[in-house]
Structure 1
Amino acid sequence: MTVTLITGANKGIGFATARQLLDLGHVVYVGARDTGRGEEAASALGARFVPLDVTDDASVAKALATVDADEGRLDVLVHNAGIAENGVVDGPTALRVFDTNVVGIVRVTEAALPLLRRSSNPTVVTVSSSAGSFWAVNNPDRPEFTLTSPLYSASKSAATMITVQYAKSQPGIKFNAVEPGYTATDLTAAIGGGRTPAESARTVVRLATLPPDGPTGTLQDDSGPLSW
């Protein structure tokens, strides 16, 4: 069985991704910082829960130690945890956004690398955003052109770049970033609209189930690789 860990999986795209991967036969660990919500989500899905706060080194280490003890390896890691903090631009907010959206990726990846190296087809997917794509935000034909969210967009640029750099430094592991599409989640509640998390999760699942010779170091959406 394929062993998968998803951060921030108690709701939204992470929850929908967990459901779809479970349907494909994966053993899925739902990572969430809120124990009550995480346990409730895992129970509803038929998944396994592991407490995981991507901003806390000890929490990350303990979560990966749990997966190691239970499974002995990790086949798929999905970086889904993220925050937006729209409207506020100051130092403390910037630190909070980057700590979750970027440094969190580094914390979890570094803790997971020993387990991923034991997999026959190790795969890492970062839920990023074309809001962090220079091409998209400067293209008047794209919806990102009118988006004003400095900290979120900058953090997603960094999230995509760290993913690409891991692909270069870890050639035995596939690392790809995904633009999941504008989705109706807690992050977009203030704006409204968007497609369902299940629709957006399909792209995440596609990249999480790549064959051993699949692409690495890309940013993709529903249609394939994106410029960024």
Structure 2
Amino acid sequence: METRKYTRSLTETRAKVHMAKPKRIYLAGPEVFFPHEEHNAIVAEKKRLLREAGCEGIDPLDTALTFSDQETKPARGHRIYQANRELMDSCDAIIANLTPFRGISADPGTVFEVGYMIGQGKAAFGFTMDCRHYRERAGAADRDELGHSIEDFEMSDNLMIEGGIKESGGQLLVAEQPGEHRFFSAELFRRCVQALNDQLHSRE
């Protein structure tokens, strides 16, 4: 009788695991600003690598928004924000492309999304294709041309970004060599996915 109960319990457990929904991973990054084909190619590769790990990649442009000619640009912007926030709320973790974009730091929208997810107690991981520390990108000086101090903590970007990621249990992975794209490396992203998967499983 005990053997039957144990067998039934084990079968039920396996069934639950099999039916469990894959973890949803929000894919933050400047790719949303790339030309259509370039964006789609990178996102498709990210989603493929996540599927291999048993996860589901969620891109900010997965939302189906339509705009009327009467809608103002600020109103459109707010709707995009709300749609992206709802996507983040539906996700279990975030992988952010923190490669410097339009300057020496990561895309500010991406940085906000990392902070938003960390604020919800969700795992945050990131990667950057630029191996230089923030100070080096800022000119390797103690102060800028206006006399403002430049932080020097041997981090890839502002300390609040890397500090927040680490405190969430995540990692910021840095490319050791150029990838197939200035803003993306499949191998680096694969390592990021593996680290995230290990962290998610440790929480279960």
From the superposition, tell whether residues 66 and 208 of structure 1 become closer, same or farther in structure 2 (CA, over 3 Å).
same
- SS of the residue corresponding to residue 174 of structure 1 reads coil
Post-superposition CA distance 1:58-112 (Å, at most 9, x none): 43443022443xx3xx22201116455xxxxxxxxxxx4257x153343112333
- SS of the residue corresponding to residue 159 of structure 1 reads coil
Structure 1 stretches of 5 or more lacking a match? 33-48, 85-95, 138-149, 189-195, 215-228
Corresponding residue for residue 177 of structure 1? 172
Corresponding residue for residue 104 of structure 1? 109
Structure 2 stretches of 5 or more lacking a match? 1-21, 33-38, 65-75, 141-149
Letter in 1 for 2:126: T
Post-superposition CA distance 1:158-203 (Å, at most 9, x none): 53633332146xx4x2231111341021x37xxxxxxx93323222
Corresponding residue for residue 199 of structure 1? 187
Give the CA deviation at 1:11.
Answer: 4.9
Corresponding residue for residue 225 of structure 1? none
- SS of the residue corresponding to residue 131 of structure 1 reads coil
Letter in 2 for 1:6: L
Tell me which structure has the larger Cα radius of gyration: 2
1:19 aligns with 2:48: yes
**Is the contact between residue 170 and residue 196 of structure 2 (CA under 8 Å) also seen in structure 1?**
no
**Is the contact between residue 4 and residue 76 of structure 1 (CA under 8 Å) also seen in structure 2?**
yes
Equivalent positions of 1:50-129 (< 5 A) are: 50=63, 58=78, 59-68=80-89, 71=90, 74-80=91-97, 82=99, 84=101, 96-97=102-103, 101=106, 103-113=108-118, 116-117=120-121, 122-129=122-129
**Is the contact between residue 20 and residue 205 of structure 1 (CA under 8 Å) also seen in structure 2?**
yes
Residue number among 196, 211, 216 corresponding to 2:199 in the alignment = 211
Q: CA RMSD in A?
A: 4.1
- SS of the residue corresponding to residue 97 of structure 1 reads coil
TM-score, normalised with respect to structure 1: 0.49
Letter in 2 for 1:106: V
- SS of the residue corresponding to residue 191 of structure 2 reads helix
- SS of the residue corresponding to residue 126 of structure 2 reads strand
Corresponding residue for residue 6 of structure 1? 27
From the superposition, tell whether residues 162 and 210 of structure 1 become closer, same or farther in structure 2 (CA, over 3 Å).
farther
Corresponding residue for residue 59 of structure 2? 30
Give the CA deviation at 1:213.
Answer: 8.5
Corresponding residue for residue 161 of structure 1? 159
Distance 2:125 2:88 in 1: 18
From the superposition, tell whether residues 67 and 109 of structure 1 become closer, same or farther in structure 2 (CA, over 3 Å).
closer
Letter in 1 for 2:103: V
Distance 1:76 1:133 in 2: 25
Quote the sequence identity (%). Answer: 10
Letter in 2 for 1:176: Q
**Is the contact between residue 13 and residue 200 of structure 1 (CA under 8 Å) also seen in structure 2?**
no
